[in-house]
Amino acid sequence: MKVYMYDAESGLYEGETFEDEYNIKYVDGLTSIVPPSHDKGMVPVFNQGYQVWSIVPIAELKKRISSSQQPTGDVS
């Protein structure tokens, strides 16, 4: 069946592929829920907890990703 891939950490849509229906629940980053269409400058982001897609501006997603990659302390 056709499934939609997303980054398991950020939820960012990564494309589509085919997978056995049985395996979907055992593989992180896959859903059978179709992502919504979106305009230029926007991206679909999947919320795994609620099992829904949302449309997010690319600039907002970049901020989320860069802030999650900031070092949390001094590593000397």
What's the confidence (pLDDT) of residue 23? Answer: 87
In angstroms, the Cα distances linking 52 to 17, 29, 61, 63, 74 are 18, 13, 16, 21, 37
Mean pLDDT of the region 38-64:
93
Please indicate, yes or no, whether the overall pTM of this predicted structure exceeds 0.85. Answer: no
Q: Where are the domains of the chain?
A: 2-68
Give tens-digit pLDDT for 8-48: 999 999 999 999 988 888 889 999 999 999 999 999 999 99
Determine the pLDDT at residue 75: 53
pLDDT at 72 over 80: no
